[in-house]
């Protein structure tokens, strides 16, 4: 395929953006792949772009060709599918991921020519095309849960002259017919590594999966299997992806609307809010910003040690006498906590509702992390014997995480 001068300069811009993101030149093999599969060929005419206020607004190629083209070659994620959830919020459920993050993940995968590779989350098909440039088309299998998204990806791949196998189905099951794979890469995030992925990984092999927790979706788990199939891995910073969704989650395509929600959980129900507000406030020494602020290492640790617990800062009009409010909720909805920082003097209090004292659990997690010297995520590890249960640890498997931590 011959690129036009406009396409060539757009790809040169993209390479510069990715190099900025990496802080070094794009490795040769991935620079070649980025040139070989132009990103705009994988984007539908109607996409959604970040609106700067935490949401996404539509961009129609016919109406705004320059903005659409600019997004295609910028280091930004481009949302390609909105979904109306059963609760009514409209959330992004498929996108072309930001190119810098894509290349960082591909580097972490350490793909070699001739490897068989399984990708979970086909999306636009762009990443599958990049994988196919290096591994060869016949070596790549990619699984997408959304049938319409999978069909669009097949068409885009064909248009770009690439022919990896696109499977429509729940990627949590992998694709056993193509196993074993030397490499498995997820481009949707997981709270636990589906056993099928490790079972289908060759020995030795490597798996790369963006990490998700109810508290915070951040970090990428990189796992290697040895010749026995025993898996050991660690987290590395970066990677914030849409979550792996169940195959039948009642999604509805809302057309060209605007995203009204994020994919980050759900607010407490009105009754739970009122009940929590009526609970007695108790002083707490832990600042909500320590665990729900800009420190993603702290957020990562809370996500790992207190699984299934979600948080959100209250937005909207500020209440009299209150500087900030953080809502904390167990995903089963049974327990909530409200952390409030007073406007005068900054005194912090917490109100608990339900059987679990969620803020106490978070405080304990933060103290454990603090006492351990605030280790960053690269010191956290994952191991699993073939067919066994995973173990999470700090520095070595002899230092397992406290009981109650997520067991992926």
Ligand X SMILES: C[S@@+](CC[C@H](N)C(=O)[O-])C[C@H]1O[C@@H](n2cnc3c(N)ncnc32)[C@H](O)[C@@H]1O
Closer CB to ligand X, residue 101 or residue 383?
101
Interacting residues toward ligand X by CB under 6 A: 93-97, 120-121, 123-124, 126-127, 143-146, 149, 170-172, 187-188, 241-242, 244-245
- Least Å distance, CB 80 to ligand X, is 7
- Least Å distance, CB 359 to ligand X, is 31
Q: Residue 296 is encoded by which pair of tokens?
A: 């993603």
* Long-range pairs, 96-99, Cβ under 8 A, ≥24: 96/39, 96/42, 96/43, 96/123, 96/124, 96/126, 97/123, 97/127, 97/187, 97/241, 98/21, 99/14, 99/17, 99/18, 99/21, 99/34, 99/39, 99/75
Closer CB to ligand X, residue 39 or residue 356?
39
Distances (CA, A) of 80 to 49, 96, 130, 224: 9, 7, 18, 32
Closer CB to ligand X, residue 83 or residue 363?
83
Closer CB to ligand X, residue 149 or residue 341?
149
- Least Å distance, CB 94 to ligand X, is 3
- Least Å distance, CB 112 to ligand X, is 20
- Least Å distance, CB 170 to ligand X, is 5
Q: Exactly one of 94, 95, 97, 335 is catalytic; which is it? A: 97
- Least Å distance, CB 213 to ligand X, is 16
Closer CB to ligand X, residue 213 or residue 242?
242
Terminal CA-CA length for the chain: 43
Distances (CA, A) of 407 to 149, 188, 202, 390: 31, 19, 23, 6
Q: Is 95 a residue of the active site?
A: no
Calculate the dihedral angle through the C-alpha atoms of 127, 25, 78, 33, rounding to the nearest 10 degrees.
Answer: -30
Closer CB to ligand X, residue 190 or residue 302?
190
Indicate which residues carry an active-site annotation. 97
């Amino acid at each position: 395929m011959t690129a036009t001068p406009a396409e060539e300069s757009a790809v040169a811009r993209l390479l510069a953006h990715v190099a900025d993101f990496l802080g070094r030149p794009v490795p040769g093999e991935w620079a070649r792949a980025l040139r070989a599969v132009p990103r705009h060929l994988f984007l539908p005419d109607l996409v959604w772009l970040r609106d700067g206020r935490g949401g996404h607004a539509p961009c129609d190629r016919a109406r705004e060709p320059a903005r659409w083209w600019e997004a295609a070659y910028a280091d930004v994620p481009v949302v390609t599918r909105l979904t109306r959830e059963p609760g009514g919020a409209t959330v992004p459920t498929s996108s072309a991921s930001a190119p810098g993050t894509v290349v960082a993940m591909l580097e972490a995968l350490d793909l070699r020519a001739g490897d068989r590779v399984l990708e979970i989350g086909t999306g636009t098909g762009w990443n599958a095309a990049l994988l196919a440039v290096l591994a060869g088309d016949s070596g790549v299998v990619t699984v997408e849960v959304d049938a319409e998204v999978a069909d669009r990806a097949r068409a885009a791949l064909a248009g770009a002259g690439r022919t990896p196998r696109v499977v429509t189905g729940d990627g949590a099951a992998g694709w056993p017919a193509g196993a074993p794979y030397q490499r498995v890469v997820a481009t949707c995030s997981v709270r636990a590594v589906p056993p099928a992925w490790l079972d289908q990984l060759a020995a030795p092999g490597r798996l790369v999966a963006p990490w998700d927790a109810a508290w915070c979706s951040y970090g990428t788990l990189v796992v290697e299997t040895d010749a026995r199939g025993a898996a050991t891995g660690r987290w590395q910073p970066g990677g914030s992806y849409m979550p792996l969704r169940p195959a039948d989650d009642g999604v509805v395509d809302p057309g060209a609307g605007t995203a009204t929600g994020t994919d980050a959980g759900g607010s407490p129900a009105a009754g739970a809010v009122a009940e929590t507000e009526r609970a007695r406030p108790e002083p707490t020494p832990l600042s909500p910003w320590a665990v729900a602020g800009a420190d993603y290492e702290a957020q990562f640790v809370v996500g790992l040690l207190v699984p299934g617990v979600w948080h959100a800062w209250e937005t909207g009009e500020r209440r009299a006498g209150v500087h900030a409010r953080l809502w904390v909720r167990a995903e089963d909805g049974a327990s909530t906590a409200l952390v409030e920082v007073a406007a005068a003097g900054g005194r912090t209090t917490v109100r608990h509702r339900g059987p679990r004292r969620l803020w106490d659990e978070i405080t304990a997690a933060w103290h454990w992390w603090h006492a351990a010297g605030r280790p960053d995520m690269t010191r956290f590890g994952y191991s699993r014997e073939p067919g066994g249960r995973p173990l999470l640890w700090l520095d070595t498997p002899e230092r397992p995480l406290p009981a109650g931590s997520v067991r992926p």
